[in-house]
Chains A and B, each alone.
Chain A
Amino acid sequence: MRCLAPPFPLGASFALGILVAQAWLAAMLDFVPRGVRAQGTGAAMSTALFLLAGYTMGCLRRQGQGRTPPTGIPWRSVCAFSAVLTVMGLAGTWGNFNLPLFPAHAHGGMARGMLAANAVALAPMFLTAVGAALGAGARKRTTVFGFIGAVTLLVISFGIREAARYLLLDPNVISLVATGGLGVAALLVGFVLSWAHKRLAFVEMAITALLVGYAIYLTVAMGPTSLVVSWSLPIEQILLALSFVPSIALMALLAVGGSLGFLLFGSGRWDPGFQYELKVATRYLQVNFPQPTRRTWVGLVHAGFVVGAVWTSLFLPEPQLVWWGTLLGVLVAWMIVRQTRWLRLALGLQLAFFGSSLWGVAQYGARVVPKLMSGSDTVVPAGAVGWTNVALGGLVVLLYGGLWAIITRRLMYRHIGLRTRTQKPLFVGVVTVISVLGVAIGVMALIVVLSVMSGFEADLKSKILGAHAHIIVEKYGDDFVEYEAVERTVRTVPEVQTAAAFVLGDAMITTDEGLIAGTLVKGIDPGSEDAVVEIRRNLLRGDVRYLEQPDQIPGACSGVFKKLPKFKPPPTKIDTVLSSTSTSSSSAQLPDTPVPVDSSNRCSGRVLPGVLIGRELANQLGARVGYVVKLISPVSEEIGPMGPTPKLRRFRVAGVFFSGMYEYDAKHAYISMGQAQKFFGKRGRASGVELKISDIDLSALVASDINRRLGGQPYHVRDWRDMHKELFSALLLEKIAMFVALAMIIMVASFLIVATLVIIVLQRGREIAILKSVGASDASIMKIFVIQGVIVGLSGSLLGVGAGVAICLLVEQVGLQLDNSVFYIELLPVALNWSEVGVIAVSAIIITYLATIYPAMTAAVLKPVEGLREE
């Protein structure tokens, strides 16, 4: 049907129709929760209406006698449409601002959201244009199949979710299975759509993706809050992400499934072969793999040995010698092959290295082998390690420098007659190399950055779990008197390792010099091993026993100590590794500095109770063991003329601990439980019972078990994830943001692949036509270009994974120093997570695969006669 109406009235008519539809929808959806949800839903509804309007315009624009190109967008109608909407949107927004037209409830919220969407001129224009492009490219029954696809997808994913709910228990696993099920369903639906149509049913897939995406958005926007409360993100961000992420993700999966369906069935029959397509693809990528000769194998074996030696060196404390040896070996090999003037010098160096390596091997053998044979557990001395490096380096030089050069030179002489053969060497086109490197750099950056972030997360987690309890049992109200019985109960749970009651309260800590700090004071039972095992491990100075025996604190019966300089940081990890002792408080201790005692001011015998404080707090107050501090609690039973009077009590510093977490070392202090109960007015009561378990990953299940054993209310059981939810959620959000940002590198690389392939398709239009003229099907032509993209993606991913993993291992072994005062950590932590590496590699391959679809389809739909006409 040819469009006869002039563009402006058509566009304006559509715009008015959209306004009417918006008003109707706003009234119909009055039940949508107010506020952000209503506004976001209004904006989302508007985007759907823009796409629908554009789609209809595109369908009307289509010529009767044949399809217009998919980009045949009726721009004049689209511009008229968006201009009218923008004017109405601006007028409505101004009117609502100056004379509030819409009330604050959901109806008004949705209308405001719709007006805002209208007023943003570019968004309606873009969305309408996209809809028009889809409409112009639509065939008969396209819309119907799009709806069928969406319904099928929703039914399958719903079925999988219900099955998961029925069969599984863990809500996280159910969510994972439901999301995975939706993804698999998208692949299948895309596959079936293309198989049924014997073409890449792009428009149908787009309609399916958009409909399902909107369904997900509306379910969350209008549904109960329980759908989003577990995400720990603001509702605005969730809705914004849901307005486009599901549709894009589904479109990608549908495109993957659809393209596979077309590639396998596009010829009209099952056709999984790709033999000649691979041959053509590699030829077009200018990748030439010559037949391997003996020289090639020799070179490969030695190259493999060098790579292996370098990798092995990564696990040695000082691998530099191996690397220098490798460089020297390469130099020597080149000199031998070229027979340069410096050959004798090179050979001399090589012999010297080799000789020293023999000496190193002897040294290593003499020191280490007896120990190994006797089964001794002693760490290998540093000197022997060094000689091992020399030995390995020497071996590399010998083999790579000497033997390789000699063997290959002999081979070269032997085959000198064959040098005139027209066998081309290994050659890879420049554009191919650039494309591969683009993908490799993206993958490498992702692996390294995510591994570093995982390292920080793991470091933080170990410090938190080292310093804090895994599970805490608390009681609502302030009458937790039965804490000892609860302690006994929780100890019966098999996974529980330690359990100890505690009292917790806020207090100010101050010194006679007027230095003051806020602190969280914890009362523990110093006689209970469970309560003190972690504190003892982190103690730098003093002793936990001082809490029970305060009279043993140095200076307990003497006067106030003078203020002394800050503590120096504890020894570094490398020093600790090199020393033969493990990291205990004794190894971290600093030598005592004798302090003069004011013997003229001996106390009357009153012994102050002890308090353990963190290193940062000690530095802040200028305090050390034996120093007297004052704790001030706002909680007091005494009433003064101005109200409750704060309670003040003197304590003597019994020890200083260092957990490695700044917040903990700056804010926490320990006193005995009895003192805490007295100080905070909780006689006979506790604040809670803290537990450590054997497997922290089971904390949620163990917490649930304990809750059940205690009978639920009034007890409240939290695990470490609940206690530090915001912190870990923030870390997760940061990781996701970093993943998305760095994935952009891969996206940019994939655009490079798109550009490269489009250029190849444009340049090779004639050859595509020739292949079609001899019987190549559209699917077959598409395979050629998809294979090109997959080769680039696979090569880039493999290279990127190799480089990324190597860098992570290198940083892990060599160590990258950080500013301890800034980062509170000595070395850059790296935690290589192989599942993350796998996800990154697979994502890169999928993204590069998707990048090939458009250029491959362009090649596939090229008519043979059009390509031949270019001659």
Chain B
Amino acid sequence: MNNSRALVEIHKLRKTYWMEDQPIEVLQGVDLEICSGDRISIIGPSGSGKSTFLHLLGTLDVPSSGQVLFNGNDVFAQSPGALAAFRNRSIGFVFQFHHLLPEFTALENVAMPVLIQRRSASESHERAVTVLELMGLHHRLHHRPGELSGGEQQRVAIARALVLEPKLLLADEPTGNLDESTAAGIHELLDETHERTGLTIVLVTHNSVLARRMPRRLQMLGGVLRPVT
């Protein structure tokens, strides 16, 4: 952990699902501190709650109890509109299955977060082109996701997550759907991005190689996060 103020503080985070009036406690009180510039990998068996934790951290879901403080502010105390704006400017999310919008080109997908922020079309276009070129996709700007390879799709997804220079990048199995060499390319991309921008990365993965690249490794067991021994 860097010796800087905590970017994210998580206190006793719980998530319970209800199935036919029976509770299923997925997270049973997670505590974590993430500092700016940290690179954290989270591993664990399937169904342990890694993705659930990441979704809560990315405010894609609402916890049953507990707190998530971002720069000292409780994110879930905000109104839904403020939460959406926070998600837009501060968090970048990369999913396992890229989750790109299929009817839009790579350029339009990457420009979407900028347009959501009500910036002009030209500024959105410019920023999207810049980021895609950094990803090495300058020749794929006007291609739809269906016309891209798996690695290219994931690069576009990463570009979309980074276009607004968020403080925190959350990646849920970013290479889970890719072959080894393509995955390696993605790993290097993440490293380069971190070196260039000092981005804080929290990453969930089954890939031990990727997990070992992260300086800080955590394990989700029994709904609780523990450091990997």
**B1 in the interface, Cβ–Cβ < 8 Å?**
no
A854 close to B (CB within 8 Å): no
A275-B121, A283-B103, A871-B97 known; A773+B58 contact, CB < 8 A: yes
Given A766-B99, A865-B61, A868-B60: A772 touches B84 (CB 8 Å cut-off)? yes
Q: Which of A266, A769, A773 contacts B81 (CB 8 A)?
A: A266
Q: Which residues of A contact B88 (CB under 8 A)?
A: 774-776
A775 pairs with B87, CB closer than 8 A: yes
A868 contacts which chain B residues (CB < 8 A)? 55, 60, 95, 99
B149 touches A (CB below 8 Å): no
Residue of A nearest to B104 (CB): A283
Q: Which of B34-42, B109-117, B202-210, B214-222 contacts A (4 or more CB under 8 A)?
A: B109-117
| Contact between B112 and A271, CB atoms less than 8 A apart | no
What residues of chain A lie closer than 8 Å to B93, measured between beta carbons? Answer: 773-774
User: Interface-forming stretch among A301-309, A437-445, A691-699, A777-785?
Assistant: A777-785
Closest to B80 in A: A778
User: Looking at the complex, which one of B79, B104, B112, B118 makes contact with A268 (CB distance below 8 Å)?
Assistant: B79
**Residue B160 is within 8 A (CB to CB) of chain A in the complex:** yes
Asked if B14 CB lies within 8 Å of chain A CBs, one says no
CB–CB B116/A776 < 8 A:
yes
The CA of A769 and the CA of B104, in the complex, are separated in Å by: 15
A780 to B81, alpha carbons, bound, how many Å? 9
Tell yes or no: B89 within 8 A of A by CB.
Answer: yes
Do A198 and B84 touch (CB < 8 A)? no
Q: Which of B67-120 contact A (CB under 8 A)?
A: 79-82, 84-85, 87-89, 93, 95, 97, 99-104, 108, 112-113, 115-118
Complexed CA–CA distance, A864 and B170 (Å): 15
Contacts of B104 in A (CB 8 A): 283
For residue A770, CB closer than 8 A to chain B, the reply is yes
B65 to chain A, nearest CB (A): 11
Please give, as numbers and ranges, the residues of chain A lying within 8 Å of B118 by CB-CB distance. 271, 273, 275
A269 contacts across to B, CB distance below 8 A: 81
Residues of B within 8 A of A766 (CB): 99
Q: How far is the CB of A860 from chain B (nearest CB, A)?
A: 10
Q: How far is the CA of A276 from the CA of B104 in the complex (A)?
A: 12
Question: Once the chains bind, are B85 and A268 in contact (CB under 8 Å)?
Answer: yes
Question: Contact at A775–B81, with CB atoms within 8 Å?
Answer: no
Chain B: CB-nearest residue to A268: B81
Closest B residue to A267 by CB, please name it: B81
In contact, B113 and A198 (Cβ under 8 angstroms): no
Chain A residues lying within 8 Å of B113, measured Cβ to Cβ, are: 774-775
Residues of B within 8 A of A771 (CB): 101, 112, 116
Question: Are A863's CB and B61's CB within 8 A?
Answer: yes
**A767 at the A/B interface (Cβ < 8 Å)?**
yes
How many A-B pairs fall under 8 Å by CB? 90
Cβ–Cβ contact A775 & B84, under 8 A:
yes
A638 CA to B61 CA in the complex, in Å?
Answer: 101
A284 touches B99 (CB 8 A): no
Chain B residues with Cβ under 8 A from A268's Cβ? 79-82, 85
CA of A702 to CA of B79, assembled, Å: 62
Q: Contacts A269-B81, A864-B61, A865-B61 known; A276 to B87 CB distance under 8 Å? A: no
- B60: which A residues are within 8 A, CB to CB? 769, 772-773, 863-865, 868
A247→B63 CA distance, assembly (Å): 39
Q: Are A276 and B116 in contact (CB under 8 A)?
A: yes
Which of A267, A271, A276, A871 has the most C-beta atoms of chain B within 10 angstroms of its own C-beta?
A276
How close is A265's CB to chain B, nearest CB, in angstroms?
Answer: 8
Max count, chain B CB within 10 A of own CB: residue among A267, A276, A774: A774
CA distance A741 to B168 in the complex (A): 58
Closest B residue by C-beta to A775: B88
Cβ–Cβ contact A275 & B79, under 8 A? no
Complex: A776 Cα to B55 Cα, angstroms: 16
CA distance A284 to B101 in the complex (A): 11
CA distance A864 to B55 in the complex (A): 9
Write out, one digit per residue, whether chain A residues 420-451 have a CB within 8 A of any chain B CB (1) or not (0): 00000000000000000000000000000000
Q: Closest Cβ of chain A: how far from B176's Cβ, in Å?
A: 12
A126 CA to B82 CA, complexed, in Å: 39
**A residues less than 8 Å from B100 (CB atoms):** 770
Assembly CA distance A650 to B107 (angstroms): 98
The digit string for B45-67, where 1 denotes a CB below 8 A from any CB of A, is: 00000000001001011100000
Closest chain-B Cβ to A360's Cβ sits at a distance in Å of 53
B85:A774 contact, CB within 8 angstroms: no
B15-30 interface with A by 8 A CB criterion = none
Closest partner residue, chain B, to A863 (CB atom): B61
Q: Name the one of A276, A769, A863 contacting B112, with C-beta atoms under 8 angstroms.
A: A276
Residue of B58, B89, B113, B117 with most partner-chain A CB within 10 A:
B113
Asked if residues B99 and A777 are in contact (CB atoms below 8 Å), the reply is no
A72 CB, nearest partner CB in chain B, Å:
13
**Chain A residues closer than 8 Å to B108, beta-carbon distance:** 279
Would you give the shortest CB distance from A23 to chain B, in whole angstroms? 40
Which residue from B85, B101, B121 sits with its C-beta under 8 Å from A775?
B85
Chain A residues 265-319 with CB under 8 Å of chain B are: 266-269, 271, 273, 275-276, 279, 283-284
- B112 CB to closest chain A CB (Å) equals 6
How distant is the Cα of A777 from the Cα of B80 in the complex, in angstroms?
7
Closest Cβ neighbor of B100 among chain A residues: A770
Q: Name the distance in Å between A788's Cβ and chain B's nearest Cβ.
A: 13
Contact of B85 among A284, A767, A777 (CB under 8 A): A777
Give the distance to chain B from A695, nearest Cβ to Cβ, in Å.
55
Given A775-B85, A777-B80, check contact A767 B115 (CB 8 Å). no
Q: Which of B79, B95, B102, B115 contacts A198 (CB 8 A)?
A: B79
Which A residues touch B115, using CB under 8 A? 275-276, 279
Contacts of B82 in A (CB 8 A): 268
Complex: how many Å from CA A779 to CA B118? Answer: 14
Query: A263 CB to closest chain B CB, in angstroms?
Result: 12
Which residues of B sit under 8 angstroms from A273, Cβ to Cβ?
118
Nearest Cβ on chain A to B46's Cβ, whole angstroms: 15
CB pair B160 A774 closer than 8 Å = yes
Q: Which A residues lie within 8 Å of B121 (CB)?
A: 275
Decide: A777 and B95 in contact? CB cutoff 8 A: no
The docked-state distance in angstroms from the alpha carbon of A590 to that of B108 is 79
| Complex Cα spacing A266 to B80, Å | 8
Contact B112 A773 (CB under 8 A): no
CA distance A772 to B101 in the complex (A): 12
The answer to whether A776 touches B84 (Cβ under 8 A) is yes
CB pair A774 B103 closer than 8 Å = no
CB-CB nearest in chain B for A198: B79
Chain A residues with CB below 8 A from B160, complex form: 774
Which residues of chain B have C-beta atoms less than 8 A from A777's C-beta?
Answer: 80-81, 84-85
Over the window 235-268 of chain A, the binary record of Cβ atoms lying under 8 Å from chain B Cβ atoms (1 yes, 0 no) is: 0000000000000000000000000000000111
Asked whether, in the complex, the Cβ of B101 is within 8 Å of the Cβ of A770, the reply is yes
Residue of B nearest to A770 (CB): B99
**When chains A and B are docked, how far (Å) is the Cα of A283 from the Cα of B144?**
13
Taking CB atoms, residues of chain A closer than 8 Å to B61 are 863-865
Q: How far is the CA of A596 from the CA of B80 in the complex (A)?
A: 99
A271 nearest CB neighbor, chain B only = B118
A198 touches B81 (CB 8 A): yes
User: Which A residues, 833 to 871, have Cβ-Cβ distances below 8 Å to chain B?
Assistant: 863-865, 868, 871
Nearest CB to that of A781 among chain B residues?
B84
Interface pairs (22), CB distance under 8 Å: A198-B79, A268-B85, A283-B103, A284-B103, A766-B99, A770-B99, A770-B100, A770-B101, A773-B58, A773-B60, A773-B87, A773-B93, A774-B160, A775-B85, A778-B80, A779-B81, A864-B55, A864-B61, A865-B60, A868-B60, A868-B99, A871-B97
The 7 A-B pairs of least Cβ separation, nearest first, read A775-B88, A268-B81, A276-B115, A267-B81, A777-B84, A865-B61, A864-B60
**A773-B87, A776-B116 provided; 7 other pairs, C-beta below 8 A?**
A271-B118, A279-B115, A284-B103, A772-B84, A774-B87, A864-B61, A868-B99
